[in-house]
Structure 1
Amino acid sequence: MRIRAPFWAPPLMAVQFLTRVPVPWLARLDSARANDAFVRSTGWLPLVGSGIGCVTAILFTVGQMWWPPLLALLVALAVEAWLTGAFHEDAVADFCDAFGGVRDAEATRRIMKDSRIGSYGTLGLGLALALRVAATLAVPGAVGIYAIVAAAGIARWCAVLLMAMAPPAATGGGVAKDIGRLPRRSFWLAAVTVLPAFTLLAATGRWTASIVLVVIAGMLVRIARGVRRRIGGSTGDCLGFAAYAGQVVVLLVVAGA
């Protein structure tokens, strides 16, 4: 019989997973229940992501009372990076180094495990951050605030979708391996918890949400095919890259709408 964690554990595990926020209640769980909570936490990732986006949006808004928009946004992103431990930024750098610099599976896996950053990782992360900043600043007023929150929630949903599309590589490790195959309930729960993000996104333009869905679908299909072909499935860095890429896509679509 499978040991299940209490109902409150998965959402709190999602908070602990995506942020530095202390969650002392999780210490009450034994290892079996903690593992179950971790696997089931995937369904809550979009909602926690939207919460992170709210923090960034509030800091950006308040910061503009003292600084120009660019400086306020950089301060907000710096605080966000501290809050999340630069979780997805690290994944972007590792993914770009691994998939940009080599072609064989063994070297790809070895580079993703290496804590050092190379030229592909530096360039990839720099361009991704620059696109995020430029796209955010290109969206004026309240629409920009909605876009920040929506992008953060949809970004984490992209990671959940990639889990479903590209199960963990057999020889991989890390987060993807710990979660294993995405539970069906978590997949559908994530589809529910991302709805607040899509509601905000719909407020930014009539066709924005539809365009985002089409672009994200194409992006994730391409990423899933690539990681399955190269290393046999996804890893934690692949999921983090998909999340950050999804966030940039949302902001770019809103900026161009």
Structure 2
Amino acid sequence: MKQEFRLFFTALMFFTRIPCARWAGSSEDDLNRASRYFPLVGVIVGLVAALVYLAAKLVFPQEVAVLASIAATLWLTGAFHEDGLADAADGLGGGWEKEQVLTIMQDSRLGSYGALAMIMALLTKFQTLAHLTPAMIPAILIAGHAFSRFCAVLVISTQQYVRSNGKAKPLATRLSKGGLAVAAVGGLAPLALLSPNLLWALVPVSLVWLWFSRMLKRRLGGYTGDCLGAMQQLCELAFYLGVLGAMGVAV
């Protein structure tokens, strides 16, 4: 159990700015095994987002509270996944051959595809959350952050890492069945916070996951760290849009 706590804090240290104990692991082996707690880190990020939203909603209108919540997650994660989305969009949008795509992804400069992807993602997230029922937003945030990170873990479990090095290299080894089960619990359990009709949101998430996974397989033969960040962002957006659509159908 102590070892599992250590791995959880390793994941928390890697994916957020939350200070962690010195005994949290930082070796490549620790980071590899800690990927099973990626969805649980999403629960923490979603919980922070929910608390910020609730606090801001006491004083400000819905739109401002949503904006404060998004800003909190950007700060908490260091825009880690948004950066991955931007880099992946630049590479996949501007490159043709595999090596060209990978080279563009490694470029620290932000290109037009990346800028547009990040702007559209943030605007869509803001608009979608702002139109959801206020009382349901905290649970939706927690479930969305957790489940979208489980979607990224599924990429690790089903595809090969295509770089010889990189920021996701320590996570590149596929999870064991036990590790995948832990990740599944962290990613799926928060869905119990939602009413059953909102689980229709899993349909667009599944379609987005299949589409982007197929693109990565076809264009790159696998994934990079930027691709994991992009998958998390795309699935989070698909989840919020799916929830909004399910609410509309229910009405």
Query: Structure 1 residues 9 and 35, CA, compared in 2 at 3 Å: closer, same or farther?
Result: farther
Specify every segment of 5 or more residues in structure 1 that has no aligned partner in the other structure, as ranges.
none
Give the number of aligned pairs. 244
Q: How big is each residue's C-alpha offset from its partner over 1:6-61, in whole Å with a ceiling of 9 and x where there is no partner?
A: 3321111111111111113336x5x7xx3332111111111110111111111111
Deviating above 6 A after TM superposition, structure 1's stretches of 4 or more consecutive aligned residues are none
Q: How big is each residue's C-alpha offset from its partner over 1:41-89, in whole Å with a ceiling of 9 and x where there is no partner?
A: 1111111101111111111111122222212221222222111111111
Match of 2:204 in 1: 215
Match of 1:245 in 2: 234
Mean Cα deviation higher: 220-229 or 142-151: 220-229
Match of 1:100 in 2: 93
Contact 1:165 1:224 survives alignment (8 Å): no
Offset of residue 172 of structure 1:
4.7
Specify every segment of 5 or more residues in structure 2 that has no aligned partner in the other structure, as ranges.
247-251
Contact 2:203 2:242 survives alignment (8 Å): no
Q: 1:66, 1:8 → 2: CA distance?
A: 37
Match of 2:15 in 1: 18
Is residue 9 of structure 1 aligned with residue 6 of structure 2? yes
Q: How big is each residue's C-alpha offset from its partner over 1:167-221, in whole Å with a ceiling of 9 and x where there is no partner?
A: 211x353243222232222212111112332112x32xx3322x33333232222
Q: 1:109, 1:172 → 2: CA distance?
A: 11
SS of the residue 1:188 aligns to: helix
**Where in structure 2 are the equivalents of 1:155-174 lying within 5 Å?**
155-169=148-162, 171-174=163-166
Q: 2:204, 2:174 → 1: CA distance?
A: 23
**Where in structure 2 are the equivalents of 1:124-139 lying within 5 Å?**
124-139=117-132
The alignment-based identity, stated in percent, is: 32
TM-score, structure 2 as length reference: 0.91
Offset of residue 129 of structure 1:
0.7
Q: 1:79, 1:101 → 2: CA distance?
A: 31
Q: 2:53, 2:4 → 1: CA distance?
A: 34
Question: What is the RMSD of the two structures over their aligned residues, measured on CA atoms?
Answer: 1.7
Match of 2:169 in 1: 177
Q: 1:179, 1:160 → 2: CA distance?
A: 9
